[in-house]
Each structure stands twice: as structure tokens, then as C-alpha cells.
Amino acid sequence: MLSDGSLPELHKTASFGSRSVERLAKLREHQPTGPLMCAEFWNGWFDHWGAHHHTTSVEQSAADLDELLAAGASVNLYMLHGGTNFGFTNGANDKGVYQATVTSYDYDAPLSESGEPTEKFWAFRDVIAKYAPVPAEKPEASAPAPTPSVSLDRVVSLRSAVQASSSALGAWSPFGHLPALDELGHYRGFAVYKAAVGSGGVLSFAEVRDRAQVFLDGAPVGVLSRDHHDSAIVLPTGGVLEILVEDQGRVNYGERIGEHKGLIGPALLDGVEITEWEVLPLALDSLTIEVLFGTTEPEEHGAADATAASHLSSIAGPAFAAGTFTIDAPADLFLSTAGWGKGNVYVNGFNLGRYWSRGPQTTLYVPAPILRVGVNEIVIFETLTAASARISFVPSANLGHTDF
């Protein structure tokens, strides 16, 4: 990368998270004079769905930073402050196997996703104090987050919500070919593809990007997953074919940068191309109870199969479920997703991000500025099944198991 990823007239920097002396020596081989700079000092790492939560040793990271500064090099910490891939903003990697990044970008950073100082923060502060002044001000840890109670009191299936005559989730468009989502100007999130098939058989695509739940006349048939390299499935009969497609995140490094999302054609049924399609890009960047149900009152609802109840016991997806909770003062919260399948959560219309039973993370960060004193609303888009529709807030984040 130093040889081929640089220009002779431009200053070179390096990126690394360990073996600082060795890395700086390698940089000096390619740049005999001038300041040494670590443009990204990796003090943690990001997580993928279905893998473990990445952490790094506090002691080793601090020692590597110490070596770097002792060598007289400049440094940019990546990350100083962890963050969140709210909504559909997470990225992905693909080095032969597609891996989508999780919602949390805590990164095991010195300041956590919610801004809490960690052991790594204090260790780094001590190291930096050896080489430069540090502020006298010290951040204080927050108290455990409040845990308000929530009751989900209404639910509507995705199928009914999009069949409503005036659906706020989007409009169907006809095509004489199988379009990628980019062709529709839909660059993230979900879409529904629909076609009539006269018989059963093997349904195949050139590629699925990135996850497709297949239904016939509303009944589930199966799932095609990009990370499993799935591209074909057996349809037992003919009928109305409906496919819920999820763009799980754009590849942001390597040869697949800029690729199109959705179902990539041709679509074949026993070798014969299906050309007549309807596609509905789902408008899910923001979602409220009123958008889905036409009112904030559970007794009145717009979609045909919407159900109001004092408490829902489970959610059979794909479906939307909603409810309210009350807080006395805005504060950071941590929403537990344990027991849920896969989907997104919205609080007061704000898309907190994705959850998935694959883990590793089992909480979503709810920042205080999106909350309001008094009644707050929550909407869940569950694409699989939530055995329990119970909503729980917990005192702190749970980002999952580590590899040691």
C-alpha cells in the first residue's frame, strides 16, 4: 500500500494498531525524510453480525501508543469516541464472504458509544501526559441508565401495510425486467419485489444483495442469504411471488465498492426468465405510529389487519408493532433486543438501527436528544419472529461476547 497507494510528491502516512516501532520503521523505508504520522491508530475494531465483539488489551494499546509517541511520531486516534450506525448507515466488507457491520460502532474506543470514559481512556490520558499537556477537566461516568416499561399495543403485517390504498410506505412500480434497487434511486434499506408465477420450480437469481425472504401468496417459502452465497430456492407451487429484500449495508472497502443492491438478474424459474415485476421501495428512514396506523390511539387503526391489544405476546413478521413509554427526564437509554429476530427499531420516528438475533450486540443505544419528557413512542419492524413482544430497557450496553 505504501508503494502503490501513494504519489512521490505527496506526504505518506501509515495506519496500524500494534507494533508501532516496526510499523514506523517500515514507513521510514518508503519515506526517508519528513514527519512520521500514524493516520489511524487502531485502538479497537468494529463488529460483524454473527461474529464476536472485538476488544483490544488496554495495557497493550497504551504501550503501543507510548512507543509511537516516544518515537516522535504524530497520531490520530481511530477511534477516540465510539459511535453508532443509526438507521441503515452501517457498512460491510466482502473478501469472499459478505459481512455486514453491526449497528454499534463502539469500537472498544477510549470513549464508549454513549460517551463514557473507559479504562482505555484513562490509560491513554496517562500516556499522552508524558508528551504533551492534558486538560485538567476529567469526564465523569454516568449513572446507570433508566429502565422505563413499555407495552406494545398494536401490530400490522407488512403485507397489509403495503396493500393499503394510501400506504405511506411507498408506491409500486411496474417493470418489464428485474431492476436493481439503484435503478429505482433506492440506495438503502428494504424493498418488496412481486411477480405472478404459473407453477412451482427452481427460482434462481444471478445474485442476491443482500438478503431475500421469499413468500408465495403470503406464506413463507425460505430465505436467500448473500453471506451463505444463496441464489436459488424451490417454489412448491405457482401463485403470487413476493420477496422482501434487504440491503444490509454497502461494501466500503475493496473491489465491490459501488455495486448495485437488490435482486440481480436474470430471475429464472426452471430456466425461463421472469420479466414482469412490480417493485415497492419501502420508505423506512423514519417511521411513526401515525404513519402506520393513521392515529396514535390503539383503538383506531388504518390498515386492514391491524390489531390493538393491551399487550402483545409475540410478533409474527414481517410486521410492524408499536407502543408507548413514559420518562420523567431525557437520558441515554439502552434498549434490549434479546428474544427478537431481525429488524429495525424507531423511537419517536428516529431509526435507531438494525438488530439481529445473530448478535453479537443485544442492545441498541437510545441517545437522550431523541427522547422527550412524558410519552414517547416506539415502533419495531420485525422481519422474522419475535417470540416475545416484551420491550425492555437495561442499565447499560451489551455488545456481546468477545473472543477471549
Average pLDDT, consecutive stretches of 10 residues, N- to C-terminus, the chain (404 residues): 87 95 96 95 97 97 98 97 98 97 98 97 98 94 92 92 78 96 96 97 98 97 98 98 98 94 98 97 96 71 48 88 94 95 98 97 98 96 92 96 83
Rounded-to-integer distance, Cα 245 and Cα 179, Å? 12
Strands of 290-332, DSSP E: 307-308, 315-316, 319-327
Nearest to residue 203, comparing CAs of 176, 234, 230?
234
Residue 221 CA from chain centroid, whole number: 25
pLDDT of residue 296: 65
Return the pLDDT at 166: 56
What contacts 202, CB < 8 A, 6 or more positions away? Answer: 232, 233, 234, 235, 268, 269, 270
User: What are the structural domains of the chain?
Assistant: 14-129 (no CATH), 151-157+285-394 (2.60.120.260), 171-281 (2.60.120.260)
Look at the chain and count its residues. Answer: 404
| Closest alpha carbon to 396 in 310, 351, 336, 327 | 336
- Given CA atoms 77, 83, 89, 94 in this order, what sign does their dihedral have? positive
Kindly list the distances between the CA atom of residue 375 and the CA atoms of 301, 311, 326, 330, 365, in Å, as whole numbers in the listed order. 19, 17, 4, 11, 19
- Please list the helix, strand and coil fractions of the chain in percent, rounded to the nearest 5, in that order: 15, 35, 50
Beta bridge partners of 189: 247
Nearest to 122 by CA among 34, 199, 59, 213: 59
CA distances from 244 to 118, 224, 356, 375 (A): 40, 10, 16, 32
Q: Rounded distance, CA 116 to CA 95, Å?
A: 33
Between β-strands 250-251 and 91-94, what pairing exists: parallel, antiparallel or unpaired? parallel
| SS3 call for 326 | strand
Closest CA to 14 of 22, 61, 54, 95: 22
Q: What is the torsion angle, in degrees rounded to the nearest 10, for the CA atoms of residue 329, residue 83, residue 139 and residue 368?
A: -10
Strand partners, 274: none
Cell digits for 353? 438501527
| Strand pairing category for 151-157 and 250-251 | unpaired
So what's the pLDDT on residue 302?
40
CB 280 within 8 A of CB 172: yes
Cα–Cα distance for residue pair 286/352, rounded to 1 Å:
10
| Beta bridge pairs of residue 277 | 175
Strand partners, 375: 326
CA atoms within 13 A on the CB side of 44: 27
Dist CA 198 CA 144 (whole Å)? 58
Q: What does the alpha-carbon distance between residue 281 and residue 295 come to, in Å, rounded to a whole number?
A: 23
Q: What is the pLDDT of residue 1?
A: 84
